[in-house]
Amino acid sequence: MSIRKVGVVGAGQMGNGIAHVLVQAGYDVLLNDITQEALDKGVGNIRKNMERQVGRGKMEQADMDAALSRITTTLTLKDLGQTDLVIESATERETVKQAIFEDLVPHLQPHTILTSNTSSISITRLASRTDRPEKFMGFHFMNPVPVMQLVELIRGIATDKETFDACYEVVEKLGKTAASAEDFPAFIVNRILMPMINEAVYTLYEGVGSVTSIDTSMKLGTNHPMGPLELADFIGLDTCLAIMNVLHDGLADTKYRPCPLLTKYVEAGWLGRKTGRGFYDYRGETPVPTR
């Protein structure tokens, strides 16, 4: 099938990044969120990021103008029913995602493919709550979407080949690389990454090292571009905790037990960059470790 118009649910950090790369690749995008403020902020971020690309010579002004003209916004979820592909990019909570799909399904065209940008939740389980499990799959972009080259494609138990091939074609048109993952908790990237971040939090919790020494050790000792605690702040500590809980619940192995310190930070509302504090305090000119 030919995908021309894509609906994106959620205009936050991931959603606006997904919309950005889609319109840049020539797709028409209908962006949805629950408030006009969120939509305006999302489109504003796309414009700002594209202006940065133009400034660096990675994009022509005319191409930017054409790309932005392909974005429309709506507060009405059912409007996305007229698209060929829907990419849900709401918060990483299964009940929220299920509610979105249940509201959306009655308005979809028969050929519309449903996907979720979930980083850890069962695709098979999400698909089972819709009328089209064969046309449902995981479409997991990495953050920040315009920069990162990987997209995980996750088949549910019922996903058919036509759906997978159509999504694979979209990834190729975006100029990104697809990795096919099986539908097990956290898929590939987060199955490996999140336990590393969680172990870094345990290392801090147990006093083995400070925030600075842990991040410096991993950057200089293993050539990581960003330390694990800095990366956790960038991702969002609530998202890290949610994925660790999915791993712990889904695989029933104590090695995936979330660190109590990670839970404590989330309880405090210190979720990282997006709230101004996490393992670092971002409220000043330069980030300062909070422990």
49 is catalytic: no
Task: Flag whether 12 is marked binding.
Answer: yes
Question: What's the average model confidence in pLDDT over 184-204?
Answer: 97
Task: Flag whether 14 is marked binding.
Answer: yes
Cross-strand partners of 71: 29
At residue 92, does pLDDT exceed 90?
no
Name the 3-class secondary structure at 156.
coil
pLDDT digits (tens, 9 = 90+) for 72-84: 999 999 999 999 9
Task: Flag whether 227 is marked binding.
Answer: no
107 is catalytic: no
Cross-strand partners of 150: 177
Task: Flag whether 274 is marked binding.
Answer: yes
Query: Where do runs of H (alpha helix) occur along 139-224?
Result: 161-173, 189-205, 211-222
The pair phi, psi for residue 7, each rounded to 5°, is -95, 135
Residue type, 251: L
Q: Which of 117, 119, 120, 122 is catalytic?
A: 119
How many whole angstroms separate alpha carbon 287 and alpha carbon 282?
Answer: 5
Question: What's the average model confidence in pLDDT over 236-254?
Answer: 95
140 is catalytic: yes
The pair phi, psi for residue 169, each rounded to 5°, is -65, -40
**All domains of the chain in start order, with CATH:** 5-182 (3.40.50.720), 189-289 (1.10.1040.10)
pLDDT digits (tens, 9 = 90+) for 149-168: 999 999 999 999 999 999 99
Q: Which of 32, 140, 198, 230 is catalytic?
A: 140
Percent of the chain with pLDDT over 90: 97
> 48 pLDDT band (50/70/90 cuts)?
very high
Amino acid 91: pLDDT: 87
